[in-house]
Amino acid sequence: MTKTHIWPSFRYRDARAAIQFLHDAFGFEEVVVYPGEREGEVAHAELRWPEGGGIMLGSTPDDETEPAPRRASVYVVAADVDAIHDRAQRAGAEIIRPLRDEDYGSRTFMARDPEGVIWSFGTYAGEGS
């Protein structure tokens, strides 16, 4: 089994809503959610990408020392980008770049989550993959 060594990590104002959105729109699978001290707070959550890897996220602290990621972007390798695109549309995701075939051979699209993170999905898995 291959270990995942890179885990993008995010802070959301409404982490529970983000978890639900990432599941509904893109298909991330909830692995674990640890509650924080305050009502509705998420201290730590792990979401798995069905094709390998995953992300971690939690709630933004009240003091805003760790602001929500307004300009972050993530690229996710996926075998069936069209299916993820259709799922994202059905879930109400904001599609900011429609499905297209890139010059370098990837099938891609981009969506923005409710807190501004840009999610790119494509078939390109890197050179030599």
Cα–Cα distance, 94 to 66 (Å, whole number) = 25
Residue 104 domain flag: yes
Q: Look up the domain containing 113 and give its range.
A: 9-62+69-122
For the chain, give me the number of helices (H) and strands (E)?
Answer: 2, 8
Q: What number is the average pLDDT over the span 82-95?
A: 96
pLDDT tens sequence across 96-112: 999 999 998 999 999 99
pTM, two decimal places: 0.83
Residue 4 domain flag: no
- How many independent structural domains does the chain possess? 1
pLDDT tens sequence across 5-29: 678 989 999 999 999 999 999 999 9
Cα–Cα distance, 38 to 7 (Å, whole number) = 25
* CATH number of the structural domain spanning residue 74: 3.10.180.10
Percent share of the chain, pLDDT over 70: 87
Residue 2 domain flag: no
CA atoms within 13 A on the CB side of 43: 5
Given this model, what pLDDT does residue 35 score?
A: 93
Q: Is the dihedral of CA 88, 92, 95, 100 positive or negative?
A: positive
CA atoms within 13 A on the CB side of 122: 20
CA–CA distances in Å: residue 120 to residues 31, 34, 86, 98, 100: 22, 27, 14, 10, 12
Percent share of the chain, pLDDT over 90: 67
Task: pLDDT band for 70, please (50, 70, 90 cuts).
Answer: low
**What is the DSSP secondary structure assignment for residue 108, as one 8-state letter?**
E
